[in-house]
Chain A
Amino acid sequence: MDLDFSEDQQLLRRTVRAFLEQNCDKVFVRAMETDGRGYSPDMWRRMADMGWLGLGLPEEYGGSGGSVLDLVILHEEMGRVLCPTPHQSTVVLCGTAISLAGSDEQKHELLTKIAEGKVIMAFALPETDGTWQADDVKTAAKQNGDGFFINGRKMFVHWAEQADKLLVVARTESKSDPREGISLFVVDTRSAGISYTPLLGTARDKQAEIVLENVFVPAKNQLGKLNEGWAVVEKALQWGLVASCAQMSGGCDRVLQMSTTYAKERVQFDHPIGSFQAIQHYLSDMATECTGVQTLVYRAAWTLDEGLPANKVVAMAKVQAGDSYRHVAAVGHQIHGGLGFTLEGEMELYSRRAKAMQLSMGPSLVWEEVVAQEIGL
């Protein structure tokens, strides 16, 4: 039982934190909320230079190697400062799927580009119910000659409009078990027949509805075994969820830090408000919640890295992180008082994102059901 990080991991965290301190202040975060692109290509290039766009991807295809725990470190730091970046969708979700399912040629083609920062990808899985589960996948891909025609509608796809390519999860065969008959396709975002509608959410992040009308995808862009794509999605989703939970954990920690600092500085009734027990207990409870989420996320990453069955712990991490981030942010607002409510403060940046992240990648109810199944109910 040992919760220490290795020297390399500690170095990674220090390096990432320093980089983000230099390049991702709140002025930048706010600017990206109304920016058409929503991220900085310059930052993306520099992340590529640091090897972070290859983190978790196999070295033989240009990746940097590394474990889920390494990705957690990166994403925890990014979440701490609310860094707007298509890293999770490109590198973790799509990158993992391509690593698992791609042919040698596809991996050489795509993974290298990802690691070099030459391609942004969006993971086009969720549809109408936004649950990220197999039974929500109704988008169909019909084989025709040397390719497939895809018809359907995706919802809540992060970075869809900003991406160069989509990884589309579509149904190639209708089976009684919705997890069967699913295939994966790498689709150019500017293909004929695709249209996008931006979804305007509380976090002011980049999400879109994608309508696919007879979108042609050449056979060489189909990824992995036909009709057996869901197993790949599940694995990529595990990694993607843990990265998202890591961001939430980082956000929780920053809210705790900000709130504690504020409580020490804000003086009312001749005392710092941090000396009042109501505030102290809010913060102690927050610290307990933050530590709880953090250790659960680390456990989920460790479980995946050990190759142990991880469905239960990943689902639990998602449920706990979503709820705790939301709750911690609410208490953070209480502590910050009026200042937190205005745009002068940073609190509202965190609370909006906390809610959006809780509802993204499947809301709590969906993952609670996964937990219920895993514990034998």
Chain B
Amino acid sequence: MTESSVSPRQATYLSARDAPGNSLADVLERVLDKGIVIVGDIQVRLLDIELLTIKIRLMVASVERAQQMGINWWETDPFVTSLDDGKKKELEAGGDDAR
């Protein structure tokens, strides 16, 4: 049962040099430490990697969308409207890692 119309005979190759889109999440999860880290005498808590990736992707999308449409992207971005309310509120609140 063939479900896809595309049958690649090769793998897709992406350079790790560019970190837009697909490899941004890969870069962030490799480079950023998780949880709480002591820097000097200060406790630093970094934003959760998954949430960070979502936010960045949304920021990129929002600028393009806003330019195209000239209206509040919250109302029209199909991705955002498909997020559950809890996560949407998190993003709208501007960012604590509520998890």
B partners with A: no
